[in-house]
Chain A
């Protein structure tokens, strides 16, 4: 079986701003194997967010190829992309992006609702995941009753809900103090050790250094592809 989870070839993304064309991504080639822990580093405006959106199937490329787990994403409809996001990708956002009107448990259940997991199974798995991130006692609290670190842990539990191949974390520690931040990084590393593929987008070199491989990106091009030696 093919061990490559993400295969990107000659990927280009062009935004049209009136008359001008902005090349946000300009010929990206990138392979990420299953079980890898890769950080994508770049200054703001480097194109890393655009790359994350395309990897996360939230956006579509202008040209080039992107295979996720062997699936050619350019051939998929909006609905199929939604299905792919639902079952193959777990998002962890900088600002957590939890639904404020729902409890932690309900937030974790949400991706499973869209996948069609039966109610009982859904509830059990959500409880199990929240226990795993250490929030068993707080599963019936709403996000505004939780600290930033706790909210991000709920978000990680949610990202794992449908057992996706890829965890896509966009500045996951950006809104956290250093203590909560390192706790979150610890959980992310644990996930990777259990076999989840993690792609981490950040501008912080210290966070990026915790990954096993660092991809530096600048002006829409990959600058450097470096393996971190522990």
Chain B
């Protein structure tokens, strides 16, 4: 009963000073909008990065060899024997180099050429748009064939069908046998700008047999750890116990590293936005203090007519709660729209989660309560005689 009356009084008081009330609420509106938009965009980018990493395949293990002393790499035989394991389904050592690719008058400079074997397609889950990927027989026969990333194919051939055509990589002829599907950029780099040739062809093409990078596919996500342990112990033997000579990374490791970075970032963004909410709260307190002074006489009258301390307290707290609550609701609406707009502009799904909305709304209400208590208490403790005498 009393709460309903206090709410009516609060709404009346807010409406009687529309401009002031709006400006007071604006602080909270901006704060809540900022919290919702920034947190949602943070969460949206985290989701998109996470799904990119997960698209690398949960069975993937990557080995990078830094070497130790004179032995800075593995030989092909040392690398390929890692496959002798119950936990490993496929393995492809990779040697990369940079070339100029030419077809007729079209050329692409500084394109990455990766020498890979036939396993690479299943390890990286590569989709072929036309033709085929590198096959084991290409590798064994040291065939001079090439598979083009979608961007490279478009730049060299335009609308011509590249399959079966001959291109020059640093002046050497290669036959195009396949085109990859467009994949988009990912955390592990884009294949769209790369060219793939057979690994053993690469030995001669680049005059390099040193294996520094190996892609491995475990038999299942559950065997990734076993596979890693096995690879680790084999490489330790090769590098004589030096664990710094190589690095074994799997997808879950990348994921957890990236997640911890983005979580920190989200927290930082939310924190900055939270500060603006706090500033909004101080605005409420400021206005409530002014309001208490302006209404000293009203408070005196109410007390003379029988209002108790808690009646006055309730009246002013509900007023500040109404201000912050209304500001919070408007902020949720504006923040929601803003996240959707920014999200679609950034091409991520930035739909605010229910918990973000609830937390920022309750935070705005708590801010209203916290900053409303002091002015309300000041009002409730006014001496009625002095308040009645106040001009």
- State the A residues within 8 Å of B (CB): 53, 56, 58-59, 78-79, 82-83, 85-87, 91, 93, 97-99, 101, 110-111, 113-116, 158, 162
Interface of A is mostly: helix
Give complex CA distance A67, B236 in Å.
Answer: 97
CB-CB < 8 A to A116: which residues of B? 1-2
Shortest Cβ distance from residue B307 to the other chain A in the assembled complex, whole angstroms: 5
Interface contact B306-A86, CB-CB below 8 Å: yes
Residues of A within 8 A of B306 (CB): 82-83, 85-87, 111, 114-115, 162
Question: Is B307's CB under 8 angstroms from A91's CB?
Answer: no
Q: Is the CB of B302 within 8 A of A110?
A: yes
- Residues in B with CB closer than 8 Å to A97 are 297, 300-301, 304, 388
Known: A101-B12, A101-B16, A116-B2. A56 touches B308 (CB 8 A): no
Closest CB of chain A to B308's CB: distance in Å?
Answer: 4
Instruction: For B310, list chain A residues within 8 Å (CB).
Output: 79
Chain A hits for B2, CB < 8 A:
116
Contacts of B308 in A (CB 8 A): 78-79, 82-83, 114
Given contacts A58-B384, A78-B309, contact A99 B298 (CB under 8 A): yes
Q: Please indicate the chain B residues that have their CB under 8 angstroms from the CB of A111 in the complex.
A: 305-306
Q: In the complex, which of the residues B297, B298, B301, B310 has the most CB atoms of chain A within 10 Å of its own CB atom?
A: B301
A58 contact set on B, CB distance < 8 A: 303-304, 384-385, 388
5 closest Cβ pairs, A-B complex: A86-B306, A114-B306, A82-B308, A111-B305, A85-B306
- Count of interface residues, chain B, beta-carbon cutoff 8 Å: 23
Complexed CA–CA distance, A84 and B210 (Å): 97
Give the most central of B303, B305, B310: most A CB within 10 Å: B305
Q: Across the two chains, which residue of chain A brings its CB closest to B12? A: A101
Which B residue sits closest to A96, measured CB to CB?
B301
B388 surroundings in chain A (CB, below 8 A): 58, 93, 97
A59, A99, A116 — which one has the most chain B CB atoms within 10 A of its CB?
Answer: A99
Asked if B303 and A82 make an inter-chain contact with CB atoms under 8 angstroms apart, the answer reads yes
A85 touches B385 (CB 8 A): no
Set of chain B residues within 8 Å of A79, measured between Cβ atoms: 308-310
- How far is the CB of B7 from the nearest CB of chain A, in Å? 12
10 A-B pairs with C-beta separation under 8 A:
A58-B384, A78-B309, A79-B310, A82-B303, A83-B308, A86-B306, A97-B300, A97-B388, A101-B13, A114-B306
For the complex, give the distance between the alpha carbons of A101 and B300 in Å.
15
Question: How near does chain B come to A42, taking the closest CB pair, in angstroms?
Answer: 18
Residues of B within 8 A of A56 (CB): 304
Q: Which residue on A lies nearest to B307, using beta carbons?
A: A114
A176 → chain B, closest Cβ, in Å? 19
Q: Across the interface, name the chain B residue whose C-beta is closest to A84.
A: B306
Please tell me if B311 contacts chain A, counting CB pairs below 8 Å.
Answer: yes
Q: Which of B272-317 contact A (CB under 8 A)?
A: 297-298, 300-311
Contact across chains for B12 and A86 when beta carbons are under 8 A apart: no
Q: Shortest CB–CB separation between residue A162 and chain B, in angstroms?
A: 8
- Which residues of B lie under 8 Å from residue A115 when comparing CB positions? 306
A53–B384 Cα distance when bound, in Å, is 10
In the complex, the answer to whether A91 meets B16 with C-beta atoms within 8 Å is no
